[in-house]
Structure 1
Amino acid sequence: MSSNDDVVVIGGGVVGTACAYYLAKAGRRVTLLDRGRFGAACSHGNCGYVCPSHVLPLAAPGALWSTLKTMLRRNSPLKVRPGAVLSNLGWFLGFARKCNERDMLAAAVGIQALLNSSRALYDELLAAESIDCEWDTHGLLFVFHTKGAFDHYAEVDHLLRDKFHLPAERYDADGLLALEPALKPGAAAGGYLYKSDAQVRPDRLMTGWRAVLTRVGVTVRENCELTGFVREGSTAKAATTTQGDVPAADFVVATGAWTPLLNDHLGCRVPIVPGKGYSLTMPRPSVCPTYPMIFEEHRVAVSPFKSGYRIGSTMEFAGYDAVLNRARLGLLRDGAGVYLREPESEPVQEEWCGWRPMVYDGKPVIDRSPALSNVMIAAGHGMLGLSMAPGTGKLVTELLTGDKPHVDPTAYGLKRFG
């Protein structure tokens, strides 16, 4: 039988890792389970941004029309298979309903709370635990190819300054080239630098954080897939897994894009759909960017790590299709090639794709299961899992230990879905 201190965290990505870490630091005895290898899914191959700048959800005024226009373009960075729409029609209708200013601003308040919390917690975590993950606090550059897009972003910049206290430094074409000489002359009309943002190398973060988990007493069990719960009324007594039952007093489900497959066990419909992203990892080019950059019009991001270089992004709604679409990798290369003097190098060390857990309103779910009072759900962080992980882990710990939450959890509740 479990003691009152035992917690099982299901999911070995960055959010589950953060939950396990803060629970262990609060004195709980933690077992972390992962259906595959620890840290091998979306927490492995993303671009590594810790970005308080990303407060606005994808569902925004005009997003539906711009999305439709983008989808009609050949080689669009956004790809939606018709079957994915039909099988997730409620999700896409929910997204459409949220594409207005009121809902966008309301969602952004909840998003910002976790982003700001996590950005501060990363500074504390990496200093306290001496995790070597190539932490870089230079900032993040938003780069625009055309003058029209650059000028249009001034409206977003104004909104972020006024509503969310997020100033950026604006650079015209010449100033941007002086700031970042890795850009091609004439390739960019301008850019905005968010000094609030930072970057890690995700695989090194996960390797270092796992060592910390071991040091603070967390047991990690890989290839251990959750198949349900042993229930006693409205309480879970054990997690049923492919390695047997694992008893505990509390459970945290941090299973990312896989979470909807557990709906029957959780007693609710968690509105998450998988949005597949891609990346290429290689050595640093000889002319390597100083800053991580997002090429907004091409939806391509580059990450200059100290020990390597990554091109990533795009979005593909294709259900749980795990096939590596090489055409999508080509879009990454082509997009980076528009802007950079030396967009890639050889050899390519890894071609990767992974599923982001997308919720249509842009906010994660951090709430108790309506069917099992001692099961907490922490999933649906979209493209911001790395950016929101420490704040999520701390909040989950506070909710389970009864401490006062450091951010208001109301925004992340299941009740918002009706």
Structure 2
Amino acid sequence: MSTPRSAIIIGGGIIGLCSAYYLVQSGWEVTILDKGNLADNCSSGNAGMIVPSHFIPLAAPGMVAKGIRWMFNSKSPFYVKPSLNPKLISWGLQFIKHANDKQVNKVAPHLRDLHLLSKLLYRELAAEPQLNFGFEDKGILMLYKTAKAGVEEIHVAKQAQQLGLDVDVLNYSQVQSLEPHTELNIKGAVHYRCDAHIYPNALVTQLTAYLKAKGVNIQTNCTVTNFTAGNNHIDSVNTSSGNFSADLVVMTGGAWMPELAKKAGMNIPVMPGKGYSFMVDNADKKIVHPSLLLEARVAITPMNGKVRIGGTMEIAPVNSKINMNRVQGIVNAVPDYYPDYQVKLPQVKDVWYGFRPCSPDGLPYIGYSEKWSNLIVAGGHGMMGLGLAPATGKLVAELASQSALSTGISAFDPNRFN
């Protein structure tokens, strides 16, 4: 009987957990190394949306102009903190280079396929008896208040339909009939019936417990300090808790990916995109469907009997400061669309924040390193980490086992900026 192959996963976020899940399913012995305690990774405050509708990457036409305009508004939904940081300048130049129609049209089918695979896998995970994370397949409403936003979103909806996604353009009364318990102050919406949502806190907790029960060695408060490598092969991962060796290394690491990659002699550009969220009671005026408030770029998700409200994308180095101006911008947006929800500014202690790992072209990194034969990179998913986690984990296991891939990954080559 052959000895099981061994894998080390660096990073215990949702990408790392899903990679561990599918590697274990494929017969691998897995060790997860995480610099924190897994309790508050980036996905625990996530809006919980599974979004085939998001086939357009963050680096999209118009985002540069909007970003420049929004830089002067402390409550705006997208903000790049001005800095002479060479990493930010390099990232920004690549972002500008990729924010065009030609690039978006080229990558849209690849993103769509990755999202659809993930939704299918979420449905399978939800059927597992030990996993109950509130999977609901009722779509997401893109709500708009202005004719301009409506025209833009309906254009995207037509692109989505051409890509074979299940999408409906709705007028005000049609949207209101989908939300019978609460008043809406909007012009209309696009209903992406292809989308779904979950309660991410439950998923992270249950998946961690499942992996521990399956014998996965989870090392917390374990910081990677270096790699011992030679002959195109990583021999060991050196950490604050000692050295770990395995046949395969999977580098996730979220917003800390560039520092990890640098230790391995690689260039994988990522900038942290800070986002905020908080929970409110769903009350009597119950919201039924998750929604995105388009002009405000705010996400609303009913989950676990409450409503999670989240938003903003603040491109800046990792920092622990909570900018309450940005939280106030989120708070102000809600009653503009849902007049019954007069949301109060939460106390600082009740505001969650996390750092989305944003690549400069808005696409994740999934695949083998060209520098090290036993290193797989899986990260840089931006706002879509939770939504794309099962698909990424499945692909990691398929790459590791050298089996046929469930979907193509050429657009996500981790070596593309070398």
How many Å apart are 1:414 and its aligned residue? 2.9
Q: For residue 166 of structure 2, what is the aligned residue in structure 1?
A: 167
How far apart are residue 72 of structure 1 and its match? Answer: 3.5
Q: Does 1:391 align with 2:400?
A: no
Partner of 1:9, secondary structure, is strand
Name the amino acid aligned to 2:238: T
Query: Deviation at 1:46?
Result: 0.8
Distance 1:183 1:331, change over 3 A: farther
Secondary structure of 1:143's counterpart equals: strand
In structure 2, the CA distance between the partners of 1:86 and 1:249, relative to structure 1 (3 Å rule), is closer
2:278 — aligned with what? Answer: 280
- Which whole-Å CA distance do the structure 1 matches of 2:114 and 2:264 have between them? 24
Residue 179 of structure 2 is aligned to residue 180 of structure 1: yes
The 1:130–1:345 alpha-carbon spacing in structure 2 relative to 1, beyond 3 Å, is farther
In structure 2, what is the Cα distance between the partners aligned to 1:84 and 1:352? 28
The gaps in structure 1 that reach 5 residues or longer are none
Amino acid at match of 2:51: C
Instruction: State the partner residue of 1:227.
Output: 225
User: Taking structure 1 as reference, are residues 112 and 145 closer, same or farther at Cα in structure 2, changes over 3 Å only?
Assistant: same
1:368 CA drift (Å): 2.2
Tell me the CA shift for residue 171 of structure 1. 1.5
In 2, the alpha carbon distance for the partners of 1:415 and 1:9 equals 19
Question: Paired residue for 1:12?
Answer: 12
- Residue 309 (structure 1) aligned to one of 307, 320, 323: 307
Runs of 4+ in 1 over 6 A off after TM superposition: 345-349
- Given that 2:369 and 2:415 are in contact with CA atoms closer than 8 Å, whether structure 1 keeps it comes out as no
Q: Distance in 1 between matches of 2:148 and 2:395?
A: 41
CA distance in 1, matches of 2:30, 2:295: 44
Which residue of 199, 206, 209 corresponds with 1:208? Answer: 206
Q: 1:4 to 1:175 in 2, by over 3 A?
A: closer
CA deviation profile, 1:108-146 (whole Å, cap 9, x unmatched): 222122111110011111212431111111111100011
Shift of 1:363: 1.2
Q: CA deviation at 1:367?
A: 2.2
TM-score scaled by length of structure 1: 0.94
Contact persistence 2:34–2:221 (CA under 8 A):
yes
1:84–1:195 CA distance, 2 compared to 1 (3 A): farther
Instruction: Call closer, same or farther: CA 1:226–1:74 in 2, change over 3 Å.
Output: closer
Determine if contact 2:356/2:382 at 8 Å carries over to the other structure. Answer: yes
Q: CA deviation at 1:34?
A: 0.8
Please report the TM-score for the alignment, with normalisation by the length of structure 2: 0.94
Q: Deviations over 1:160-200 (max 9, x none)?
A: 111x1123122212222222145545x20100111111111
For residues 157 and 71 of structure 1, the distance between their equivalents in structure 2, rounded to whole angstroms, comes to 28
CA offsets 1:283-322 (integer angstroms, 9 cap, x no match) = 3233121011100100111111133221001111121122
Residues 234, 372 of structure 2: 8 Å contact kept: yes
**Letter matched to residue 82 of structure 2:** P
SS at match of 2:128: helix
Deviations 1:255-287 (A, max 9, x none): 011001123222221011100000012332331
- Kindly state the Cα deviation for residue 31 of structure 1 after the two structures are TM-superposed: 0.8
Work out the number of aligned pairs and report it: 414
**SS at structure 2 position matched to 1:324:** coil
Q: CA deviation at 1:343?
A: 4.5
Counterpart contact for 1:367–1:377, Cα < 8 Å: yes
Gaps of 5+ in 2: none
Residue in structure 1 matched with residue 375 of structure 2 by the alignment: 375
- Matched residue, 1:318: 316
Q: Which amino acid aligns with 2:191?
A: L
Work out the CA distance in 1 between the residues paired with 2:226 and 2:232.
Answer: 14
Match of 2:265 in 1: 267
C-alpha RMSD of matched pairs (Å): 1.9
Q: Percent identity?
A: 32
Q: Do the aligned partners of 2:272 and 2:318 also contact (CA within 8 Å) in 1? A: yes
